[in-house]
Structure 1
Amino acid sequence: MKKVCTAIVCFIGLVTIAQNHKIEFAEGNWKTHLSSAGKANKLIFFDAYTTWCGPCKAMAKNVFTQDAVANYFNTNFINVKYDMEKGEGITLKDKFGVSAFPTYLFINSEGTVVHKIVGSMTAGQFIREAKNALNPEHTIYGLAKSFEASGYSEASAIAYLDALDKAYESDRRSVVSKLYFDRLEKTSLLEEHNWKLALKYLNNPSSNAFSYLYANRSILTSTYDQNEVDRYFQQVFFSSVYRIKNAYAKNSGIKEAKENAQAIRKLLAENNDYSKGVLAKLDLIEYAAADRWDLYTKKVDEICADTWFYNKSYVAIEAANDLLSFEQENRYKKVLKWADIIRKRNPDLFTQIQLAELRKRVLKRQNKKRKAEVMAQKEKALRKEAAEKMIMTPPILKD
């Protein structure tokens, strides 16, 4: 997006001579903020952040303090901010489904989210999105209405999908992309224009359009860049598995999750380089959802024993960390056994960090504080080594 500065904003900046040096956030509880928004007839600008979020800090320091941003937000909104891991923020995080940081919500006095954006951006982009929030036709809610009213036209679909992408609403984006692409003539999906749109927007494996594209991937790879085609299908499958897992974790959207899982199993009935990993992840998700930890641990045992997974230890490591999250104390020894199996394969530095972190988490849960601290120091040293070698490191998990 391009940086913008309207004449009005510039004029205000000159007249006030940088009167506002930062966005001013109101004090009080959520009920008070809703009341204030109603009395002032304004939307609430809601900054959802955490103390460890780097982009959150960068936005607060570099964007919230710019005069044009401060003037615009202080004039047009009731500004509030909540740490999503403290106090009332914990409840509001669940209420509004915040899953990434920073998330910026624009909420009316009735408590309904009318617009949403996620991630850091420039001051110009930030003001532009704030203006969208004040224009009913440009909010996510308004774009949804336009999409339906237009009969799912291309222009309305792209505008709506773009907004959903900015809002990190991958579940809704999946539904909308299916509605749009499944209305197109199947053969037209192979044409360059629609293929480029599918690359960007179509992320639903239960879509008839996606199934058609996957069945005709040989035509796609002979016509377009093969690496791009392969990456697209892998990305859709893996991101869909993540959404399925998230749906079970939230106990929301289970019907669609099951439809996507069924579609993935059908499409990947014929083995390829990544199908085994995708299907294994699906099995683990469904075993956990059914509370079948006997089948879950058996599956991880199979993964660790299968030579195909030799260089794909991430599947077992993720499964082990998930098992810890479900507090399966009687299976902690199993986790350490899996870690030993992976360690004996001489893993790369990235995987060594994951294993050290996994062991640290298990030892803490076993209340073996001294050993846990030793493992924590090992993890720290490995992360430092990776940084010095400019090697990517895995994200730090909560203990």
Structure 2
Amino acid sequence: MAANLLNFVRMKLKSVFLLLLFISNLSFSQQSLFSDGGFETAIQKSKKEKKPVLLFLYATWCSHCKKMKKEVFTNPEVSGFITENFVAVAVDAEKPEGIELKKKYPIDAFPAFFFIDSDGAVLYGLLRECTAADLISEAKTALIPEKQIPYLEKQFNADYKNADNCYAYITTLKKAHLDVSVPTKKYLSTQSNEQLITETNWRIIANGVSDIESREFQYVLKNQPAFAKVSSPVRVEKKIVNIVSELLRPFTENLDTIGYFKNRPIAKSVGLRKTDSLIFTYDLLLSERTKNWKSYGKSAIESSQTYYWNNPEKLKETASNFQKNIADSESLKYAVKLSERAIEIKPSADGYLLTARLYQKMNDLKKCREFAEKSRNFSNSLGFSTKEANDLLTEIQIK
């Protein structure tokens, strides 16, 4: 008995030791990959060792950053290649050093990787999650002088009328989320309207043009079939939708209603169903974020049937906002129309329950009970909880 107990204790201690060793190895792997002392120390070490710096900017809340720390930076092949060829430094972008670095190396996404020379110039960059193999591949590319931004910039400036030079330069800048507008404009200014319709010029427009009122984009709008032949109809439409999104999205994010409605007619002038649908979505989003429910209701009533009529999730989302924030009877009747349409397309417990609550708000308890029971029955048929439907039925029974 005592011997068995002793063996059991020994096995447990061995398991704990192996676990602690594993955690220690993970920690050591990341510590040995990234230099201590911050960015300036890494620059000085870069000069001494004649290696470029790999700057990793992260945020503590970024799930992609956490995943890479756990799965990629602990990979022996990654740590071996990086430490051999770079001086790697990790900086929290939301701490003082990181905030200062973001002024020099602007970023709009995490994780961010900048390959930097000993003078602080960006050689190469990417802002996205990478697998171990992907990060090694990108790091290898960053070591090739002909793939680096300074070389590509020099080549472009030496012959800025060359489409291939321009494309190579702006795509590398874009990968690092750096400004591509200056070289794009410089090159495209050398091209007539008719010369724009080539495969390479389309790629330059697709990657480098963001001004919806620019000559080049307006020419694309007027000549979509011609550009579709050197690209594809899907790619041309995607570019048009993206440029409308890039125009309006910042105003919705910043709650800038003045800027939004100033630029909305420009976006509306594109005149495609997909862009009009996107504009409608942004109309609702801005109204919702600014809590302008009168504007929300007006927009929804005007256009939901045009753009959302076959999308049950969007119909329920819109009807739910009516149920929570809008009280006039005509608007609620319209919300019922949306929720019932959503159920017609795709029956669901939440759709029935939403419709019940809309009828409750309209003081139509008979209809409320009908749809609450449908919600309960639907949930029962799938083995789901019926609590919300039961609670609503109890509430209206009391009344």
What's the TM-score once normalised by structure 2's chain length? 0.56
Write the mapping of 1:1-399 to structure 2, written as runs, cut at 5 A. Answer: 24=32, 26=34, 32-41=37-46, 43-48=53-58, 53=63, 56=65, 59-75=68-84, 76-82=86-92, 91=99, 97-106=106-115, 115-121=124-130, 123=132, 125-130=134-139, 133=142, 138-140=147-149, 143-144=152-153, 146-151=155-160, 153-168=162-177, 172-173=179-180, 177=184, 179-192=186-199, 194-195=201-202, 198=205, 204-220=211-227, 223=229, 228-229=232-233, 231-248=234-251, 263-268=266-271, 272-281=272-281, 283=283, 294-304=294-304, 306-312=305-311, 333-334=325-326, 342-346=338-342
SS of the residue 1:80 aligns to? strand
Shift of 1:104: 1.9
Query: For 1:313 and 1:237, how far apart are their aligned partners in 2?
Result: 26
Shift of 1:33: 0.8
Cα separation, partners in 2 of 1:213 and 1:242, compared to 1, 3 Å: closer
Cα displacement string for residues 104-157 of structure 1 (whole angstroms, at most 9, x for unaligned residues): 234578877664212344555534533555677744466456544532531222
Query: For 2:118 and 2:348, how far apart are their aligned partners in 1?
Result: 50
Cα separation, partners in 2 of 1:296 and 1:65, compared to 1, 3 Å: same
Unaligned runs of 5+ in 2: 1-27, 48-52, 355-377, 385-399
SS of the residue 2:341 aligns to? coil
Cα displacement string for residues 333-388 of structure 1 (whole angstroms, at most 9, x for unaligned residues): 249969766432226999979999x9xxxxxxxxxxxxxxxxxxx9xxx9x9xxxx
8 Å Cα contact 1:118-1:167 kept in structure 2: yes
Cα separation, partners in 2 of 1:299 and 1:190, compared to 1, 3 Å: same
SS of the residue 2:213 aligns to? coil
Query: For 1:47 and 1:185, how far apart are their aligned partners in 2?
Result: 41
RMSD over aligned Cα atoms: 5.5
Cα separation, partners in 2 of 1:130 and 1:355, compared to 1, 3 Å: farther
Shift of 1:46: 1.3
8 Å Cα contact 2:244-2:275 kept in structure 1: no
8 Å Cα contact 2:284-2:296 kept in structure 1: yes
The one-letter code matched in structure 2 to 1:34 is F
Query: For 1:191 and 1:185, how far apart are their aligned partners in 2?
Result: 12
Cα separation, partners in 2 of 1:310 and 1:107, compared to 1, 3 Å: same
Whose Rg is larger? 2
> Paired residue for 1:9?
none
8 Å Cα contact 2:55-2:113 kept in structure 1: yes
Q: Which has the higher contact order (CA 8 A, sep 6+)?
A: 1
SS of the residue 1:70 aligns to? helix
Query: For 2:142 and 2:249, how far apart are their aligned partners in 1?
Result: 28
8 Å Cα contact 1:37-1:78 kept in structure 2: yes
8 Å Cα contact 1:35-1:109 kept in structure 2: no
Instruction: Report how many aligned residue pairs link the two structures.
Output: 321
Cα separation, partners in 2 of 1:128 and 1:61, compared to 1, 3 Å: same
> Paired residue for 1:326?
none
SS of the residue 2:89 aligns to? strand
Query: For 1:343 and 1:197, how far apart are their aligned partners in 2?
Result: 44
Cα displacement string for residues 35-94 of structure 1 (whole angstroms, at most 9, x for unaligned residues): 3124324535214255663x5455445543444431342242142153x6x766995797
Query: For 1:308 and 1:33, how far apart are their aligned partners in 2?
Result: 51
Cα displacement string for residues 253-294 of structure 1 (whole angstroms, at most 9, x for unaligned residues): x9x9999866533332xxx43242133246567778999775
Cα separation, partners in 2 of 1:244 and 1:195, compared to 1, 3 Å: closer
The one-letter code matched in structure 2 to 1:79 is V
Cα separation, partners in 2 of 1:245 and 1:265, compared to 1, 3 Å: closer
8 Å Cα contact 1:300-1:316 kept in structure 2: no
8 Å Cα contact 1:49-1:56 kept in structure 2: yes
Cα separation, partners in 2 of 1:334 and 1:175, compared to 1, 3 Å: farther
The one-letter code matched in structure 2 to 1:299 is S
> Paired residue for 2:14?
none
Shift of 1:21: 5.5
Unaligned runs of 5+ in 1: 1-19, 324-329, 359-377, 385-399
By percentage of residues, which structure has more helix? Answer: 2
